[in-house]
Amino acid sequence: MKPTLCVRLDAIRHNVRVWRSRLGDRPLWAIVKCDAYRMGMVPVAKAALEAGAQRLCVVEIAEGSELRAAGIAAPIVHVAATPVEDFPTALAAKLIISIGDAGAAKELSSIAKRMGVRAMAHVAVETGTGWWGVPSSRAAEFAREVASLENIVWEGTWTHIAGRDSIEAQEERFHHAVAALRQAGLAVPAVHAASTGPTLWGLDSGIARIGVGLYGSSLGTDLGAAALKTAAEVRAPVYSVRTFSEATPLGYGGAHVAQAGETIATLRIGYGEGLPKTLSGSGSALLDGVSGRIVGAIGMNFTMVSLPKGAKINARGDALLLGDAPGVRLDEVAKAGQTIPHHVLTQVGAGMTRIYES
């Protein structure tokens, strides 16, 4: 008796098509880092490409190598400053490397020349996260230092947007950096700064890197008729159903007291399977189409749900805690859990059976 995680590849394809329609002529690159937000990198990547994503983005060179081993030939971009020690592996797998300083660029040129290949490289520009990258104010200096290096094709440049409040200032710094790079001799035709959030917040130029949006999150933005579908489905078996005859504290700490006549369903799922503990008191579960409220402290393996009076459910059935249904859609679960949808996706699934539906 274990909970299950079903990844709906048809929903991912649908979402890619929705994003492509929204983007118009702008390219869409699918972010499949962290094992595609723990949803399974290879099947998610294939579904996204089938629906029209032009490229894939990873955060580890090993992820790119795994995609190549699975037979994926699409361009793969490393969206972090690529460690020098990973250059040979990246070049052998024909991955697009990101460079954040002139020293790394010189190393890349030397290694590519020694291997007899031309490296495809993007300039990572620092505009406001502080992680790594060429400071936007030094873009021209960087370009002059690396423009003559051999065996490198400067195919693009990019940055990360830190948040909604910083988007305008970061976009301005990035545009200045792009202009400086080009003026100093780097072509960088592929320009990308917009991930899911910035794309929704109004950054309407360049390539869009869509990550959490693949799984149905619009980060609270109403997309109207072009609605996304929650592509991850978490179901938990019903462990027991009890109607209490007297007031009874529930779970660890007795945070919720079931009243006489209250019906409680206990589900075989908990924080050990990645269910956010913060859903207690605010999250929902659907049992045979009946919505119940998660109550009491969520345990490592069990969660309790208060059912409406008179509700009839299958005591041997299961409950939907995340899926494409009212109350349990990805953005709704994240809001109820006082977290972000990215966190919900990357947590659920521990110890679960993961299955795929095409």
Give residue-wise pLDDT tens across range 253-280.
988 999 999 999 999 999 999 999 999 9
Question: Confidence class of residue 91 from pLDDT cuts 50, 70 and 90?
Answer: very high
Query: Would 48 be classed as within a structural domain?
Result: yes
Is the pLDDT confidence value at 164 over 90? Answer: yes
Domain of 64: which CATH number? 3.20.20.10
Asked whether residue 158 falls in the same domain as residue 238, the answer is: no
Backbone angles phi, psi at 197, to 5 degrees: -60, -60
pLDDT of residue 312: 86
Predicted model pTM = 0.95
Which backbone phi and psi does 41 adopt, to 5 degrees?
-65, -45
Residues 176 and 89 in one domain: yes
d(CA 115, CA 110): 9
Query: What integer best gives the mean pLDDT of the chain?
Result: 96
What is the average per-residue pLDDT within 179-202?
A: 96
Q: Is 225 a residue whose pLDDT tops 90? A: no
How sure is the predictor about 349, in pLDDT bands with cuts at 50, 70 and 90?
confident
Q: Do 82 and 120 lie in a common domain?
A: yes
* Whole-number CA gyration radius for the chain: 24
pLDDT for the residue 354: 87
pLDDT value at 161 more than 90: yes
Q: Are residues 154 and 286 in the same domain?
A: no
Same domain, 209 and 302: no
What residues make up the domain containing 259? Answer: 232-323+325-357
Residue 76 included in any domain: yes
The answer to whether residues 306 and 161 belong to one domain is: no
Domain boundary (215, 242, 264) is at: 215
* Res 55: pLDDT: 98
pLDDT digits (tens, 9 = 90+) for 4-33: 999 999 999 999 999 999 999 999 999 999
Integer Cα distance of 212 and 44 in angstroms: 12
Residue 315 pLDDT grade (very low, low, confident, very high; cuts 50, 70, 90): confident
List 2, 37, 215, 252, catalytic entry? 252
- 71 plus 114 within the same structural domain: yes
Q: What is the pLDDT of residue 4?
A: 96
Residue 98: pLDDT over 80? yes
Based on the structure, what is the number of domains in the chain? 2
140 occurs within a structural domain: yes
Q: Which is nearest to 48 in space by CA: 24, 75, 68, 30?
A: 30
Q: Which is catalytic among the residues 33, 94, 113, 335?
A: 33
CA distances to 154, 159, 174, 271, 301 from 144, rounded to whole Å, are: 13, 20, 18, 52, 58
Query: Residues of the chain with pLDDT > 90: what percent?
Result: 92
Domain co-membership, 193 together with 319: no
**Is 222 inside a domain boundary?**
no
pLDDT at 224 over 80: no
Concerning whether 215 is annotated as a catalytic residue, the answer is no
Q: Residue 194: name the closest of 27, 1, 51 by CA.
A: 27
| 85 and 40 in a common domain | yes
Burial of 218 (0-12, 13-18, 19+ CB in 10 A): buried
In a domain, 350, yes or no: yes
User: Do 347 and 254 have their domain in common?
Assistant: yes
pLDDT of residue 310: 85
Whether 106 is catalytic is: no
Per-residue confidence (pLDDT) for residue 158, from 0 to 100: 98
Residue 352: the pLDDT is 86
Q: How confident is the model at residue 36 (pLDDT cuts 50, 70, 90)?
A: very high
pLDDT at 226: 77
Residue 1 has pLDDT above 90, yes or no: no
Classify residue 180: in a domain, yes or no. Answer: yes
Cα dihedral 303, 307, 312, 314 in deg (nearest 10): -10
Q: Flag whether 13 is in a domain.
A: yes
Q: 9 and 357 in contact (C-beta within 8 Å)?
A: yes
Q: What is the mean pLDDT of residues 194-206?
A: 95
- Express each pLDDT in 38-53 by its tens digit: 999 999 999 999 999 9
> What is the pLDDT at residue 209?
98
Pick the closest to residue 345 from 324, 326, 331, 325 (CA basis).
Answer: 331
User: What whole-number distance in Å separates Cα of residue 286 and Cα of residue 327?
Assistant: 8
